[in-house]
Amino acid sequence: MELTGAKYQRNLTTWVEFILLGFSDIPELQRFLFWIFLIMYMIILLGNSLIIIVTKVDSCLQTPMYFFLRNFSTLEICYVSVTVPRLLADLCRQNRNISFLACATQMFFFLVLGATECFILTAMSYDRYVAICNPLLYPLIMNTRLCMQLAIGCWLSAVPLELGFTYLIFSQHFCGPNQLDHFFCDVPPVLKLACGNTFMIEMLLYVVAFIVATVPFMLILGSYVKIISTILKLPSATGRAKAFSTCSSHLMVVGLFFGSAILTYMRPKSSHSVGVDRLVSLFYTIVTPMFNPMIYCLRNKDVMVALKKFFTKLIVLPFTSIILKS
């Protein structure tokens, strides 16, 4: 009975920090993974920064479409910066402890920025819907005031929802092992460590995921059904090709992000496995944000032209002025 009581007391111990295991199960790849993730992180920062600068300074890109793209690129930088710097630091050290407060803060910002990304992608699809389905009314509908309201709404609307959800998760009692088998504080791995019945939290997770991911995804699909049907009715083949090229990059980003996010948060708890969860999480936290600037730049002629003009001014003009002075 004494042994049982001691074991019972140990099980009731409340932890004040987690240990992020990350990729500690493959120690021989730590250095390799560090350089891979660092390169990917730098590509994300550089690519999105270039999009922000170019869409801001180029007079030809002062349209609602590029206003939302600039917001999206800013969001991508914030989104990856919530998880990747911590991941890089953990790959270089043995102590991977993270306090409850730091873990809750990371989860909150990750959830808020993920929801914001869903909303901004929805706003971008609405912009394309108005531009293609109501081109004559486009300047009136997508005016500066509406664009600002949509952007502010996208950035702020998820804050109270995710704040309350994060509070509910970390108000649970954690009395089991404190080893978090993940590389950041995501919802499914944290819930695995909670004691007691987490059924209501899991059901709430589905509700939140439905509100911030499934509903925007269905709105995007609905808008693109209308967009594609309108494009197919265009008499000019050139016009159809131009309209499709404008929308295809956005559709690719939507498919990559929503597909991986829904796969993570809408799956039943019983189907979760450590390897699959980490792989899917890597995909939507690092891989997809790395490809997004490439998709928007390489598939958008206007952005490519603006980039060429930007680099010409940045490199050629200073070089020319040096020659003239000499």
What are the sequence ranges of the domains in the chain?
17-299
- Can you give the pLDDT at residue 292? 84
Cα separation, 154 vs 157, in Å, equals 6
E-assigned strand segments in 62-145: 97-99
| φ, ψ at 232 (rounded to 5°) | -65, -20
Assess if CATH 3.30.70.100 describes domain 17-299: no
Strand, helix or coil at 17?
Answer: strand
Q: What pTM was computed for the model?
A: 0.87
Whether pLDDT at 86 is above 70: yes
Whether pLDDT at 171 is above 80: yes
Average pLDDT over residues 215-226: 92
Place of tokens 């808008």: 223
How many residues make up the chain in this entry?
326
- Can you give the pLDDT at residue 6? 38
Closest CA to 180 of 89, 85, 90: 90
pLDDT digit string, tens, across residues 35-60: 999 999 999 999 999 999 999 988 88
Cα separation, 64 vs 67, in Å, equals 5
pLDDT digit string, tens, across residues 100-154: 999 999 999 999 999 999 999 999 999 999 999 998 999 999 999 999 999 999 9
Who contacts 149 (Cβ-Cβ below 8 Å, separation ≥6)?
Answer: none
Q: How confident is the model at residue 166 (pLDDT cuts 50, 70, 90)?
A: very high
CA distances from 138 to 9, 127, 269 (A): 66, 9, 45
Strand, helix or coil at 180?
Answer: strand
Cα separation, 234 vs 238, in Å, equals 9
Across all residues in the chain, what is the average pLDDT? 84
**In 134-193, which residue ranges form alpha helices assigned H by DSSP?**
138-141, 144-156, 159-170, 187-192
- Can you give the pLDDT at residue 266? 65
pLDDT digit string, tens, across residues 150-164: 999 999 999 999 999
Backbone CA torsion sign across 81, 82, 88, 89: positive
Cα separation, 229 vs 247, in Å, equals 13
The crossing angle, in degrees rounded to 10, of helices 199-209 and 159-170 is 160
- Can you give the pLDDT at residue 243? 72
Exposure string (b/e) for 1-37, b if CB count within 10 Å is 16 or more? Answer: eeeeeeeeeeeeeeeeebbbbbbbeeeeeeeebbeeb
H or E segment and range at residue 110: helix 100-133
Whether pLDDT at 319 is above 90: no
Strand, helix or coil at 97?
Answer: strand
**Paired sense of beta strands 17-20 and 97-99, if any:** antiparallel
Whether pLDDT at 95 is above 50: yes
